[in-house]
Amino acid sequence: MKHYVITGGAGFIGSNLIRNLLQQGEELTITCIDKLDDFYSVAIKEQHIQEFKKSKQFRFLRIDIDTATVSALEELILEPVDVIIHLAAKTGVRPSLSNPLAYQQTNIRGTQLMLDFSRAKKCHQFIFASSSSVYGENKNFPWKETEPLLPISPYAMTKLSGEMLGHIYHHIYGLRFIALRFFTVYGPGQRPDLAIHKFVKNILEEKSISFFGKGASSRDYTYIDDIVQGIKAAIAYTNSGFEIINLGNNKSIVLHKLVAEIEEVLKKNATIHYLPEQPGEVHSTFADITKAKDLLGYQPKMKLKDGLQLFYDWYVTNRDLLNS
């Protein structure tokens, strides 16, 4: 029976991954580690994992990786661990500008903790959630994993540091470390601070939405189910010991086009409020997913409009909780 330890499992990506793993019917156990940070509503995170608590295959540990120790984790997790999927992190570019030390504490120190825990448990497979933000302002689109990296925010720097920590542990200790660079993940369960969620909420409430700059920025929006399939493929991957792999949609959508698609789904028009460009934010993202296809058999399937419809349906169903 496989034992997966998933950090950040009560969050957007983590909860969707756990749901998929539990539904596939395999013999496995999942230990979910999450501190239920109040960056956004704890009630939303608690709802994410409520259904899992009915399963004997699931265990939840409320642990803060900022301050936890390896020995404390070992006391709570006695069983052997087959795979660690490290999704827990302080997220967001703009908040990282105002409190960079907090991002270093969680994203670097927390990753260090989980790597040391993997050594203590003799776990040989480590999946790390990295970010497209590590590329910085690079206009050589689409971005390949071999591009030079020049992060322009504290958040991006911490994600690049996590990748390099993984390389050290692979090189010295033989840990198989796979860093997955996620590109703007969206879908049911999406965090309230992310653009699609904010746009849908404000348009429905007839409030203006903010465009930073002239709305010409673009993002490679990747649906959550496609990301989950990529993570699962990385869990099963054993052909090499260290890899950095883009998980994107290989399509970059200009902000104006995204809002037009949302308007069509909601059947309501947006009111746009223009603001200056924000420091730390890259202008565009665009993933080359050739490596993911070759190594993981990764093939994103969700069309943007269909994904937006699924997010909208989820939002309407959970609107009272989300707005409480």
Active site residues: 155
Looking at the DSSP assignment, which residues form a beta bridge with residue 267? none
Looking at the DSSP assignment, which residues form a beta bridge with residue 4? 30, 83
φ/ψ of residue 259, rounded to 5 = -65, -40
Q: Could you tell me how far CA 211 lies from the centroid of its own chain? A: 23
The candidate with the shortest Cα–Cα distance to 222, out of 181, 191, 261, 185, is 185
Helix, strand, coil % (nearest 5) of the chain?
A: 45, 20, 35
The tokens describing 244, both together, are 């950095």
Helix (H, G, I), strand (E, B) or coil at 12: helix
In whole angstroms, give the CA distance from residue 218 to residue 254: 4
In whole angstroms, give the CA distance from residue 99 to residue 247: 28
Sign of the alpha-carbon torsion through 227, 103, 112, 27: negative
The tokens describing 30, both together, are 């999942």
In whole angstroms, give the CA distance from residue 50 to residue 153: 34
